[in-house]
Structure 1
Amino acid sequence: MTTGALDYHERTKHSPSSVREGGHGLDFDNKPTPYKEYTDLPKKTLADRIRPPRQPALAAIAEPTPDGDPRRECRPDLETVTTLCYYAAGVTKEIEKRGRSLRFRAAATTGALYHVDLYVVCGDLDGPGDETGEPSRDLAAGVYHFDPRTLSLDVLREGDHRGALANASAHEGVADAPLTIVTTSTWWRNAWKYGDRTFRHAFWDSGTTVANLLAVAHALDYRAEVVTGFADRPVADLLGVDPEHEAPLELVPIGAGDTVSGSDPASTADEIESIDPDTAPLSPNEKRFPLIHEAWSAGALDDGSAADAWRASKPVGTIGTRGPGDGERVALEPVDRETASGRPVHETIRRRGSCREYEREPISFRKLSTVLDRAVRGVPMDVRRAGERGESSNARAEDAGAEPPLSFVDPYLLVNGVDGLEPGTYHYQPADGELERLRAGELRSEAGHLALDQRLGADAAVCIYFLTDLEAVVDALGDRGYRAAQLEAALTAGRLYLGTYAHRDLGGTGLTFYDDVVADCFAPRAAGQTPMFLYTMGRPA
């Protein structure tokens, strides 16, 4: 049985009545561990020294293409793998609270439940030469699981299995990459608290994780992009996971120039030898939520040929977005590269948190402008397709080529505390670098109500919502289009996190929302649209 994306989304919407009637206590004795622990696999300790990516965060997140620096020798090594995994999903801070040690990861995740895992699929990665000038074998070809507890890799398979990913995706970037990082979600680790909404959270939380991953890869000048079209079960079989418990979400190929031979998009999952490594139980009583697996199954693809056809099915241009109207326009005022915050991406990731309290003090319009300007430029996803280049007075649109800044989602702002910007609601036009005013007036109580009646929403200087016309997306891309729209919103929000924390006096966090009430707030412009993500920004208390 499968549940289509539209039905799933409708059944998992929050409303004031559903939240009021659906509350349940949490069984902390049955809370799942936030780590996957293999009981009998060898480990590969990662490099002792992490290579901090020193490019400014605001520059790293502004990269909308997968290209990297063509002058760089695109050969990642073990140190590269260490840096990528650590700054995407590693433990970056530890706090003692009431006698307990709380460990926080590099990327924001719903409820700090950390249900997203990283797997590394690579060919032989050679390190620097030894005394004889011969390269040393840093990391042998294989399939590995990243263990953030111990900063090590669990060895799942030996040998070069990149061809399996190339077959499953039929994607040139995957076939040409020395390594690919695969993200997964273990449903129960999030569903313990959030139930059926976990399928949404899988893309929210993998999106913020992949935002870090892309920023670090681009800061190190490696080619990197996000591949959303692939045959699901062959990838799950390669990793040795059962999609009813843990399923693959995205492929992120890193680097270029190491094409794997013998790939065939028509190959079947039967060619992948099955593995079923033992893992420690997540909790005493793991519960199942059939709706999650049904929604996942509805968007699954059978083989690489199906993945290639799915990508090609997207019409040119945008889907699910709304064009501008005739409202008053306010041009953003971002600072230039020379005067922008120079906080390196590694310091920004370590500093990042999820703000738990805002002061009701205004933030700078220039800083808001800079964060929006750098973060909302589009992300390198395989399903994005360029339209015809049109006339534009905006240099950023020209720099990005013919691709629109966003393909599936519209950014809307609810402003309550920005110096020089009148309170009210706005529709952000990223291709033009302008905010179009929809409604004027302070809306703090409304902002709090939209955010599940949380004070953080009311106190934030600005709430940024990403909405899409989900029916249009599913009509064009099928049920798998739901994943792409959720991911584009979350990945862009992940870049907003990094842009926010690149500034000393800004803080931010993602919040849950009442779905239909959000759409009503931005009507009539948002008629027929539904929210995918809510990110808030302000001055932290």
Structure 2
Amino acid sequence: MSTNALEYHERTKHSPKSVRSGGRGLNFENKPTPYKEYVDRPSVAMADRIRPPQQPALSAIAEPTSDGRLESAGASRDGTEPTKPDLEALTTLYYYAAGITKTIERGGRPIPFRAAATTGALYHVDLYAVCTDLEGLAAGVYHFDPRTLSLDVVREGEYRDVLARATNHEGVADAPLSIVATSTWWRNAWKYGDRTFRHAFWDSGTTLANLLSVAHALEYRAEIVTGFADEPVADLIGVDPAREAPLEIVPIDAGDGLSSSDGAHGVDPIDPETAPLSPNEREFPLIYDAWAAGTVADGDDAKSWRSGRSADETAPVGTREPGDGERVPLEPVGHETASSRPLHRTIRRRGSCREYDREPISFRKLSTVLDRAVRGVPMDVPRGGPLGDSADGDGTDGGKPSLSFVDPYLIVNGVSGLESGSYRYHPEAGELELLQEGEFRREASHLALDQRLGGDAAACIYFLADLEAVIDAFGDRGYRVAQLEAAVTAGRLYLGTYAYLELGGTGLTFYDDVVADFFAPRSEGQTPMFLYTIGRPAP
């Protein structure tokens, strides 16, 4: 029996009762490897150097559009013609999105950590490149291996037309390079079971937040395409969606587009042999059912899906109108006085805070992180509606709201210059709306699965969605988009946080319905998608 998105979400909610009764031991002898290892595919080395993005992290995350050339389309910031992607650029994109950026000794053994935060550090998200001939790399389909910083050759030749037909999206057809993100279910389900379908979008979202920021810092056009025919893309990269499924496509840059001689062929099926992930790989049918419920058959259907089913195709879906609570304007600093920590150093520094000091953080720093990170995600599903200026006067994406599927709510317990309490954040106005005044450390800890980190954090930032409205407008596939918008925004919050040396942050899990009740009545009909916490790390 198939499971739709709403049923899946309800069945995978956390509650105090389910967490107490649902614990299961982990078999570490059966823990899956966090890498995909091909047995029968050749590999090619990536560039022997990377191009560290020097743009300040707080500037790189603030780009809400697909065009990384902020000042004028088609020209770089210094007026020169931008370079097209090459092997060095691809190496840079991969390294700062999903590469191994640090190794920490724990229990006497080295533990490698990657560029983006993922649930349980299980790293179930893989990246594939589909490209034309690039400088240093022949046209083909390639899998990124972060262990060796190399590319596994999945297919040789021009296959961009397959993605173009599967998406019916101009940006994909024009791009010399597109990156496909996937999730290998078992690598996450070993610990988290059926919740892995949620985590697929949490973890691909934080990964793509890095990828977009790096692409824009390198002045490449980049956006996330969520509407595509799933099976043809899976066939192209040689994966079985029951085990590993495509989630998103990110076209990088724009070229002259595909000509009639560029590919235009069918795809022969391939079944590359890979090493076992663990001795006994388990299947979780609910994950696959949730994925299958939102699949799209072909490019025409994908194009139709993007417009949604609402009367106003560009209006936010299920977000709540502002209320009459007291408004507190943010106090972000301008780009000239904000932290200038480069994006590459910020990504290498980023971690997931394991303990907070309750020493307050400044309202100005919180304001700056919120202002830069919550400006909108460049995706293929439309954003639209009235837009005010951002708090620092730069504006965001002209005529479009910052978020289309989720609303940000905050619990503030340790921010100097801001009263403790619960708030709704209105990004277009650059204001916080007070919902309830008071200290809520005990409640914040309880909401976050009774984890101390939630109560010790200076602020907890929740993203809530009206899933019934989203799915009514975009079908079961809309569930993916709501989760993804929250996760990419949270990924940008990570980068904005770690641009400041004295700040730290981490994502946490939560009791779904308890969170919705806490923010009621404003949150009536909404459910949490993601929780990000920010504070001062304990020494």
TM-score by length of 1: 0.95
Name the CA distance, whole Å, in 1 between partners of 2:446 and 2:308: 39
Shift of 1:533: 0.1
- Which residue in 1 is equivalent to 2:383? 385
What is the match of residue 102 of structure 1?
111
Shift of 1:202: 0.1
Q: Does 1:177 align with 2:172?
A: no
Alignment gaps of 5+ in structure 1: 127-137
In structure 1, the residue matched to 2:41 is 41
Do the aligned residues in 1 keep the contact of 2:330 with 2:391 (CA within 8 Å)? no
- Report the 3-state secondary structure (helix = DSSP H, G, I; strand = E; otherwise coil) of the residue aligned with 2:199: helix
State the Cα distance separating 1:189 from its structure 2 match: 0.1
- By how many angstroms is 1:403 displaced? 1.0
Distance 1:262 1:417 in 2: 60
> 2:387, 2:92 → 1: CA distance?
39
Q: In the aligned structure 1, how far is the partner of 2:56 from the partner of 2:278? A: 40
Which residues of 2 match residues 145-156 of structure 1 at below 5 A?
A: 145-156=143-154
CA positional deviation for 1:317 = 1.1
Q: State yes or no: 1:354 paired with 2:349.
A: no
**Is residue 166–residue 263 contact of structure 1 (8 Å, CA) maintained in 2?**
no
* Cα shift at 1:74: 4.8
Look up the match of 1:519: 516
Q: Tell me the residue number matched to 2:470.
A: 473
Distance, in Å, in 1 between the alignment partners of 2:55 and 2:2 is 45
Q: Residue in 1 aligned with 2:528?
A: 531
Instruction: Deviation per CA, 1:350-388: give whole Å up to 9, x if none.
Output: 00000000001100100000000000000100002323x
Aligned length: 525
Distance 1:393 1:366, change over 3 A: closer
Counterpart secondary structure, 1:228: coil
Q: Does 1:63 align with 2:59?
A: no
Counterpart Cα distance in 2 of 1:191 and 1:433: 39
Q: 2:402 aligns with which of 388, 391, 405?
A: 405
Q: Which amino acid aligns with 2:150?
A: S
1:90 maps to what in 2?
99
Displacement after TM superposition at 1:503 (Å): 0.3
Query: Structure 2: which amino acid aligns with 1:462?
Result: A
Deviation sequence 1:11-44 (CA, Å, 0-9, x none): 0000000000000100000000000000121111
* 2:122 aligned residue (110, 113, 116): 113
Contact in 2 for aligned 1:74/1:255 (Cα 8 Å): no
Q: 2:500 aligns with which of 500, 503, 507?
A: 503
Q: Deviations over 1:397-454 (max 9, x none)?
A: 8541111100000000000000010000000000000000000000000000000000
* Alignment correspondent of 1:296: 291
The separation in 2 between residues aligned to 1:443 and 1:103, in whole angstroms, is: 36
Comparing 337-346 with 314-323, which one deviates more in the overlay? 314-323
Residue ranges of structure 2 left out of the alignment (5+ in a row): 76-80
User: Does the Cα contact within 8 Å between 1:163 and 1:262 map onto a contact in 2?
Assistant: no
- Distance in 2, Cα, partners of 1:396 & 1:156: 47
Q: What amino acid maps onto 1:304 in structure 2?
A: G
d(CA) in 2 for partners of 1:323 and 1:474?
19
- Find the counterpart in structure 2 of residue 132 from structure 1: none
2:271 aligned partner: 276
TM-score of the pair, normalised by structure 2: 0.96
Instruction: Verify the 8 A CA contact 2:131 2:177 in the aligned structure 1.
Output: yes
Secondary structure, in 3 states, of the residue corresponding to 1:180?
strand
Deviation readout 1:171-210 (Å, 9 max, x if unpaired): 0000000100000000000000000000000000000000
Query: 1:95 deviation in Å?
Result: 1.4
Pairwise mapping of residues 299-338 of structure 1 onto structure 2 (< 5 A)?
299-313=294-308, 315-338=313-336
Determine the structure 2 residue equivalent to 1:134: none
Cα deviation per residue 1:478-535 (whole Å; 9 max; x = unaligned)? Answer: 0000000000000000000000000010000000000000001100000010000000
**Among 233, 236, 239, which residue is 1:238 paired with?**
236
State whether residues 52 and 83 of structure 1, in contact with CA within 8 Å, keep that contact through their aligned partners in structure 2. Answer: yes
How far is the alpha carbon of 1:396 from its aligned partner?
5.7
1:484–1:37 Cα change, 3 Å: same
Shift in Å, 1:393: 8.5
Deviation at 1:391, TM superposition (A): 6.6
Partner of 1:30: 30
Percent identity over the alignment is: 73
CA distance in 2, matches of 1:82, 1:17: 46
Shift of 1:344: 0.4
- Give the whole-Å Cα distance in 1 for the aligned partners of 2:391 and 2:8: 38
Matched residue, 1:135 = none
What is residue 362 of structure 2 aligned with on the other side?
364
**Does the 8 Å contact 1:16/1:452 carry over to 2?**
yes
1:73 positional shift: 3.0
Measured at CA, do residues 416 and 157 of structure 1 come closer, stay the same or move farther in structure 2, by a change above 3 Å? same
Contact 2:316 2:384 in 1 (8 A): no
Inter-partner Cα distance in structure 1 for 2:314 and 2:85? 34
